[in-house]
Structure 1
């Protein structure tokens, strides 16, 4: 005889306890709603993932009263500067302190810290439930096709969660997207990224993001806490097998060619392939983010390139835009229709900003992929032109990092 599923009722079931899912749950719980978060991991050990928080999100976290809790842990690093070197020469330098309208700066926050703070704050509210070590195995449906919750499995066996709204916040490889029946297009980009962490070189300051470019190859170096460096080295799409065949000494040489200052640390700390993490680079476009009883947020709805570190920020923005719409709809007598209207409104609010970021990232992806000598020289001239025109440089970077719309300024 098969084991009978345990039942759980809630107003909202969020699949995925990442930044977007937990932020949404927190905001709903603060509004008095009942919300269950389904998270497959036992602890938030998410290395190399989503640590870059834009100034807009820093402002939002501060206004939500969460930055004090993050700062109390002391595990963050603020970024003052960003610089690009191309072909061994400095091409573009940006000082965020000259651009910020209110002093907010890009900040590196380990995702484990951010998620723990969100979960602890949400747990203060009686309507919040976090189910760790649970995975979604299916979606519940009514006779007319409406999504009515999620079927999960956890340490105690199967669990059916019934909810007015199910939210797919389960990231770039979203199971909810796959199960939902919503059409989507996944576009692989021309590179993957190898991530690793090493100590910050003694000769480097701890508040500058560095990008080193050599023709169609580049490396991204982000200072993080404590005096460490997250490094992302791009490799050809599907090229890990070839990189491994060449051996670790060859990889050490590639990294050292980009940044000689990292040579000793790389040889000392990158001694096994398990010291590296591969990020498969692709974008996902979902024309419609919702259907009756279900909505997608964050990477589940719009997977972006890692360029400019916008994934976490869009997930947070999604959550803050969606929460009041859903909470208001749940109080209405005709909540099914009100929820449908709210989900349509949510996509209309958020999609323009997502698409603007996607276009910016696509342009930068193309620039990083240039390999012919004339194209590389043109790229270098563009970078130097932007660097020489202060007004243009500030305008461009404000469009990337300081875009908080008035409707989200007071969550």
Structure 2
């Protein structure tokens, strides 16, 4: 079977679904391929920065998911058992000030429903790309395996939105020259009962010498924990039994002893995330372009992956839509120029986030006493200076927003 369309999007995560929606809102025809039935993923980012919230509003999706979000008001860091930094998002002068937690299945379903209501988006699920269709040196679509058999999707533009291990990137040969940087740690993700004494409106980072953990509220009322371990150290940790994991948690958050015992009874209650970043040199080739983790994998620090995927989608859609207006003879050159303009537009923002993340990674892993003392001094200095907080956190949380008067109500406040 052959399907003809204007854009074929491979990958039904936040970036791919948002791009499909943004394109059909502009009257373009899209076929979206999702490899996993029901978009079942082992690990899902749930944290949206204030700028991610802004992007959902621009896509017309925020009101659809608002009742399912959990708004976060502050970020706190404790180092060596002592409180060193407390960032209050209310103090930032932007229209969208607060990060939110949003379960990814809810987000994906809302994006899918909105695209379906606009019309013009055909979804094949499950569908696995097996090859790219190449004509005269340019990609002209995708061959995919589906439960009904092999399907060819012929498209003017193919978009790889299929994640950190992108098949599209490999098939297109865009992985050549990619810089993959393994970080010094992996993350064990788990969920615990939320402690009654903790503020549910706070993100927490706990540091002890060179170890650290992230403690994030979930929309289902539980506590998501990202426990950092040295790269490749899981086997050694598991050899000591589940009590070793409980001990690591107790070192960072001793008040969670009861929750850890109740919530983590075996290693099957955890999930390991291999932490690395990728810098793909070229995001596009004739007839194809990459977005999201396929183009630039980031670490979990500050929850940047989902937000950059949404930003990519919103930036790319109008460029593709405009290029598709070109006469047939000039369409492919116009799409190629659009893909190059997209990378020029987005690359600097991704680079800034990566630099900020790597600085935080280095700070978190300092273990020598003089270095940890310096880290605490830096965080305490940041804690006393709202201006310095804005300078440090604005590039990560508010890259697409301009400051507004501090006394102006947030968009959430304007609705209540």
TM range (shorter): over 0.9
Coordinate RMSD, CA, aligned:
1.2
Cross-structure match for 1:394: 390
Kindly indicate whether the alpha-carbon contact (under 8 Å) linking 1:46 and 1:112 is maintained by their aligned counterparts in 2: no
Q: What is aligned with 1:96? A: 89
**1:100 Cα deviation from its structure 2 partner:** 4.2
Could you tell me how far 1:126 is from its partner in structure 2?
2.6
How far does the alpha carbon of each residue in 1:307-344 deviate from its partner, in whole angstroms, 9 at most, with x for none?
A: 11101111101000000000111110110110011111
Matched, 1:124 2:120: no
Q: Pairwise mapping of residues 6-17 of structure 1 onto structure 2 (< 5 A)? A: 6-17=1-12
Residues 82-104 of structure 1, C-alpha deviation per residue, up to 9 Å, x if partnerless? 00001110111100011142253
SS in 2 for 1:43: helix
Gaps (5+ residues) in structure 2? 403-416
- State the secondary structure of the residue aligned to 1:40: coil
**1:409 paired residue number:** none
Look up the match of 2:350: 354
Aligned to 1:152: 144
Whether the 8 Å contact between 1:292 and 1:340 is mirrored in structure 2 is: yes
Instruction: Verify: 1:384 aligned to 2:380, yes or no.
Output: yes
Residue segments in structure 1 that go unaligned for 5+ positions in a row:
1-5, 407-411
Moved more, 392-401 or 267-276: 392-401
SS in 2 for 1:153: strand
Q: Is the 8 Å Cα contact of residues 59 and 104 (structure 1) preserved in structure 2?
A: no
What is the DSSP-based 3-state SS (H/G/I as helix, E as strand, rest coil) of the residue aligned with 2:273? strand
Distance 2:130 2:368 in 1: 48
Which of 163, 170, 175 is equivalent to 2:167?
A: 175
- Superimposed CA distance per residue, residues 325-379 of structure 1 (whole angstroms, 9 cap, x where no aligned partner): 0011111011011001111111111111000111111111111111111111111
Aligned partners of 2:199 and 2:375: how far apart in 1?
Answer: 27
Q: Which runs of 4+ in 1 moved over 3 A?
A: 44-48
Q: CA deviation at 1:266?
A: 1.2
Encode CA deviations 1:76-124: one digit per residue, 9 max, x unaligned. 2111010000111011110001114225310010111100000011011
**How far apart in 2 are the matches of 1:44 and 1:343?**
27
Q: Per-residue deviation at 1:153? A: 0.5
CA contact (8 A) 1:87 1:213 kept: yes
Structure 2 Cα separation of the partners of residues 65 and 176 of structure 1: 29
Q: Is 1:300 the counterpart of 2:294 in the alignment?
A: yes
- TM-superposed deviation, 1:44: 3.3
CA change 1:173–1:134 in 2 (3 A) is same
Q: Work out whether residues 51 and 96 of structure 2, in 8 Å CA contact, stay in contact via their aligned partners in 1.
A: no
Query: Could you say what secondary structure the match of 2:117 adopts?
Result: coil
The aligned runs of 1:267-282 (5 Å cut-off) are 267-282=261-276
Aligned pairs for 1:10-409 within 5 A: 10-46=5-41, 48-71=43-66, 74-142=67-135, 144-182=136-174, 183=176, 184-333=178-327, 334-404=330-400
Q: Secondary structure at the match of 1:211?
A: strand
Instruction: Give the TM-score normalised by the residue count of structure 1.
Output: 0.94
In the alignment, is the contact (CA less than 8 A) between 2:276 and 2:298 conserved in 1? yes
Whether the aligned pair in 2 keeps the contact of 1:172 and 1:299 (CA below 8 Å) is yes
Q: How far apart in 1 are the matches of 2:349 and 2:309?
A: 12
